[in-house]
Chain A
Amino acid sequence: MPVLNIKKFSFTYPGVEHPSLKNINLPIKRHAITALIGPSGCGKSTLLRSMNRIHDLYPGNKYEGKIEFTDQDKSVSDILEIKKENEFIELRQKIGMIFQKPTPFPMSIFENVAYGLKIAGVKNKTELADRVEVALKGSALWKEVHDRLDKSAMGLSGGQQQRLCIARAVAVKPEILLFDEPTSALDPISTGAIEELIVELKKDVSIAIVTHNMQQASRISDFTAFMYLGDLIEFDKTENIFLNPKEKKTEDYITGRFG
């Protein structure tokens, strides 16, 4: 049972005639990494941002189809049915998101990681401190920042900031993490650290990641979905996609013939 099951899903931006996503069928498997690849503008981010309904911050989007979310106690719900504010909040606490550019909040390192916990109602000081520490350790950042937790998060390097954002998302114990090109603004060394971290995280959460970096997809993901012009062209185990793709378009893309 996949944690997210996207069925016959179409998405249209406001004021745009044609849907940006057409009839997508895609499972996001539990405790696995699913990579979304495809040329620029094919709809990877649009699909990813549908999974936690972050699109709904802006009015006028049209959804069709279903995105079934099976949570830990096996209850199934369609996240496209969500209408109430509190349901949105619950959904987003279960499905975290990490963006292309690091997004440290204008507060201290500690406050950043504790933020999601605090708004979720964790008040106990020691519990907060413990969970922040666990999250930072889990994001391989603890060693670098444990002596300056009260300093502004803006002072960290880009790679550290990105790991901080991962720690922040992990701290609320989500079931799914969505990554939108999390390393494309980083240098190779920071990228390596983040990739390791993502693979590590798979133990606890299910992951969907958008990437432009083919090597990255083949290095870390278990499944890969190739998208083109709003269609899902092919979805399979990562080694199948890269070693013997069934579709001509997929092959052209991964061999660098276009895109």
Chain B
Amino acid sequence: MEKIFQKLALSSASLVFVLLVGIFITLYSAAKPAIDEFGFDFITNPDWNKEVPIEISSSTAVTPSTNMSDKASSEVKDASIEDEDDMMLDDEDDDMMLDDEDDDVTTKTIYGGLVPIVGTLLTTLIALVFALPIAMGIAVFLAEIAPKNISNVVGIAIELLAAIPSIIFGMWGLYYFAPIIADMFGGYQVSLLTAGLVLGVMILPFMAAITRDSMNTTPAVLKESAYALGATKFEVIKDIIFPYSKVGIIGSIILALGRALGETMAVAFLIGSIFVLPQKITDPTISIPVAMANNFGEASGLGESALFYLALILFIISFAVISIAKFYFLKKAK
């Protein structure tokens, strides 16, 4: 009995290892066709689901034609994004280019991940820039300023905000928050900016709550001895609490960043879901999770493989980010 129980526990624990390795291998092998086809140029290629003549399929030759057709093809794709297999539209789109070539060249579809990769990084950046100062303010308020009972109540409220499903943030963001932002900054209601800000609102409570926890590890005597020297609250926070809990706070921020990188639903409503590099912050674009959410169902063959390639990239980025947070910062904080 003892042996069986122990074996069960061990195999459950090993399951974590198996799952993680399994996720990696599965993503890799599903992405393999796309990796073989596009290599690392995938990361720098802004064209998604684009027909190109087969002769000039090498990536260097593709790039020049890209900028030219960017605007035109994007507008068409904008409309057709939900149904990729709509070959007709794409063919028409590329007609102008093709006219110059031999008429009987066969074409193939290429996929590049630059747009969703950039979209992911930029929305995360905007979210972070927006959320960081507010989250720090909230954490300081909860840990140092508010009387205990207020701090408890507000703390719970903030944690509840963190528990609200992300799809709710997305819907609220699209119908109530984005119109206001669009009025203020101009541009579209669905854009990098609105997606980033809603993402920021979403990670705000999480970031505030764990930052507060880090700040609370500062021993009371340490604070008291600074006050005993005549320091103001601001000085105690700046000179004692922040330095003391610095590693924990940075770890918390990175953890929140990891969340933002992988967030799907809050962004899906707001980013516009078009494979176009944004020229301005108020332009619509797409992120990796949203590209997957909206295109996975219809994709097949190389398109599906390219989505797995994106998933692999996202997985590796978030794995790296979280490992840094865990091993470098949060371990030290303990």
Contact = CB atoms under 8 A, between A and B. Distances in A.
A259 B19 CA distance: 60
Nearest to A178: B228
Given A59-B147, A105-B239, A119 B225 contact: no
Contacts of B231: 89, 115, 119
A103 interface: yes
Interface size class on chain B is 20 to 34
Contacts of A105: 222, 225-226, 239-240, 243-244
A250 B156 CA distance: 50
Contact of A106 (B221, B235, B243): B243
B274 to A, nearest CB: 48
Contacts of A168: 229
Interface string A95-113: 0111111010111000000
A52 B227 CA distance: 10
Task: Identify the 3 closest CB pairs spanning chains A and B, nearest first.
Answer: A97-B228, A93-B230, A106-B243
Contacts of B230: 88-93, 116, 119-120, 172
Contacts of B26: none
Contacts of B240: 105-106
B67 interface: no
Interface of A: 52, 54, 57, 59, 85, 88-93, 96-101, 103, 105-107, 115-116, 119-120, 165, 168-169, 172
Contact of B221 (A88, A93, A103): A103
Interface in B210-236: 219, 221-232, 235
A85 B229 CA distance: 13
B224 A92 contact: no
Interface of B: 147, 219, 221-232, 235, 239-240, 243-244, 246
Given A105-B243, A116-B230, A57 B224 contact: yes
Contacts of B246: 106
Given A99-B221, A115-B239, A52 B228 contact: yes
Contacts of A91: 230
7 contacts: A54-B224, A93-B229, A97-B225, A98-B225, A119-B229, A119-B230, A172-B229
B43 to A, nearest CB: 40
B229 A107 contact: no
Contact of A169 (B222, B229, B239): B229
A84 to B, nearest CB: 12
Nearest to B225: A103
B239 A54 contact: no
Question: Of A101, A103, A168, which is in contact with the most chain B CB atoms at under 10 Å from its CB?
Answer: A103
Contacts of A54: 224, 227-228
A116 B229 contact: yes
Contacts of A172: 229-230
B183 to A, nearest CB: 41
Given A93-B230, A165-B225, 19 more contacts: A57-B223, A89-B230, A92-B227, A97-B224, A97-B228, A98-B225, A103-B221, A105-B225, A105-B226, A105-B239, A105-B240, A105-B243, A106-B243, A106-B244, A107-B239, A115-B226, A115-B229, A119-B229, A119-B235
Contacts of B227: 54, 57, 92
Contacts of A106: 240, 243-244, 246
A8 B227 CA distance: 26
B232 A89 contact: yes
From A88, A93, A99, A120, name the one whose CB has the most chain B CB atoms within 10 angstroms.
A99
Nearest to A86: B232
A90 B230 CA distance: 7
A96 B228 contact: yes
Contacts of B229: 92-93, 96, 115-116, 119, 168-169, 172
A93 B226 CA distance: 11
A25 B17 CA distance: 68
A139 B269 CA distance: 64
Contacts of B226: 105, 115
Nearest to B246: A106
A115 B238 CA distance: 12
A107 B242 CA distance: 11
B232 to A, nearest CB: 7
B126 to A, nearest CB: 32
A16 to B, nearest CB: 15
